[in-house]
Amino acid sequence: MQKKYIVGIAAVAAAAALTLSGCSTGRTTSGSGDSSSSSSVPKGSLIGVALPAKTSQNWVLAGQAFKDSIEKAGFKADVQYADDSNKVPSQQAEINSMLTKGAKVVIIGAADGSQLGTQVATAKKDGAIVIAWDRNILKTKNVDYYVAFNNFHVGELQAQALLDGLKKEKGSGPYNVELFAGSPDDANAKVFFDGAMSVLKPKIDDGTLKVVSGQTDFQKVVTQGWLAQNAQKRMTDLITGNYAKGTKLDGVLSPNDTLARAILQATKSAGLPNPVVTGQDSETDSIPLIMKGTQYSTIYKDTNLEAQAAIDLVTKLSKGEKPKTVDNDKNNDNGSFIVPAIELNPVLVTKDNAVEAYKNNATLEKLAVDNK
């Protein structure tokens, strides 16, 4: 974890997020992925946007953000969400239908990153550009670009926040902690966790942190479907099994805000003192908790900027220009190749920098100010 990403982070929010992330060792080059450069996207073309189920607020916001940015850029939008109960087949069918309607670009936030090989192969056969958005699409060459926040860096920031919060709120340590990861069908979940473990593992090894349950492997700590009830149940079970006899729980690595609130619900129901809990997404339900000190941190990934980055890429391609991409970040390896990426910078938020960090977003800024 390089300190420079933490220092002065409040000041950089919107502007920094627009730049290519400096986090990877990424050489930036011009060039596209597999074969998109020959595709043409005239103004007025249909752009399909296939989003996963609304498992967190960022996905809810994404639909409108895409509609607005696509229409403003002079294209037509077809935005669809996967069904909650039937997410993989419904998303596959939605992508097929976008292609049948003649979409020149499909932007995909994968419901399950490893289940779209057939659909993106069809897209490429039809001459469409395939953009993986926020979540990578796995085990296929048929992805042209990946547009996302730097997910490994999200994990690094979460872990650094956990360490900072423990030091600030729980004295000198060693500290008892538990670890949570996201859903294993989302390619991001492992990358967030790897980023976090790059910071936490040395602290576990040197005894600063003790994972009392012993559960430190990704497969052991995942939260199926990113569902709050699954995280709440696992936290409750961890408490029963490891913290019932007065062992203190100091902190929990939570991969996002929805799960952070579920974890805090479980510790509260068990009557435990408030642990230091991390998060991600800057959800409106979490900001008051952060300002009150109940949830320690979140990450700001501005959904409008992320959608706009994808549409700016489409606009560039429609003009025949070559976008600048990060081509050698191994975290963007989808199992077939490293997908050329537009990477945005995530911003760590605690109550200390919230008002500043949310300056470009009136709703979030007001929540921070009102709950200060």
56 is a contact residue toward ligand BGC (CB under 6 A) = yes
Nearer to ligand BGC, 150 or 176 (CB): 150
213 is a contact residue toward ligand BGC (CB under 6 A) = no
186 is a contact residue toward ligand BGC (CB under 6 A) = yes
Q: Which long-range contacts (CB under 8 A, 24 or more apart) does 88-97 make?
A: 88/112, 88/115, 91/50, 91/52, 91/116, 92/116, 92/118, 92/119, 94/48, 94/50, 95/48, 95/50, 95/119, 95/120, 95/122, 95/123, 96/122
Q: CB 183 → ligand BGC: shortest distance, Å?
A: 7
- Structure tokens of 157? 């920031």
- Structure tokens of 361? 């977003």
Q: With CB under 6 A as the contact rule, which of the stretches 63-71, 84-92, 182-190, 266-274 interacts with ligand BGC? A: 182-190
Contact with ligand BGC (CB under 6 A) among 226, 243, 296, 358: 226
Nearer to ligand BGC, 62 or 129 (CB): 62
188 is a contact residue toward ligand BGC (CB under 6 A) = yes
Q: With CB under 6 A as the contact rule, which of the stretches 26-34, 55-63, 204-212, 342-350 interacts with ligand BGC? A: 55-63
Distance in angstroms (rounded) separating the CA atoms of residues 5 and 169: 22
Nearer to ligand BGC, 5 or 149 (CB): 149
Distance in angstroms (rounded) separating the CA atoms of residues 45 and 189: 33
Angle at 189 between CA 166 and CA 142, to 5 degrees: 150
Using DSSP, state whether 22 is helix, strand or coil.
Answer: coil
Distance in angstroms (rounded) separating the CA atoms of residues 257 and 223: 13
Residues 275-304 that bind ligand BGC (CB under 6 A): 280-281, 301
134 is a contact residue toward ligand BGC (CB under 6 A) = yes
Q: CB 181 → ligand BGC: shortest distance, Å?
A: 11
Identify whether the C-beta of residue 279 lies closer than 8 Å to the C-beta of residue 256: yes
Q: With CB under 6 A as the contact rule, which of the stretches 27-35, 51-59, 306-314, 352-360 interacts with ligand BGC? A: 51-59
256 is a contact residue toward ligand BGC (CB under 6 A) = yes
Strands 145-149 and 129-133: parallel
Strands 324-326 and 28-30: antiparallel
Report the interface residues with ligand BGC, using CB under 6 A. Answer: 55-56, 58-59, 134-135, 182, 186, 188, 226, 256, 280-281, 301
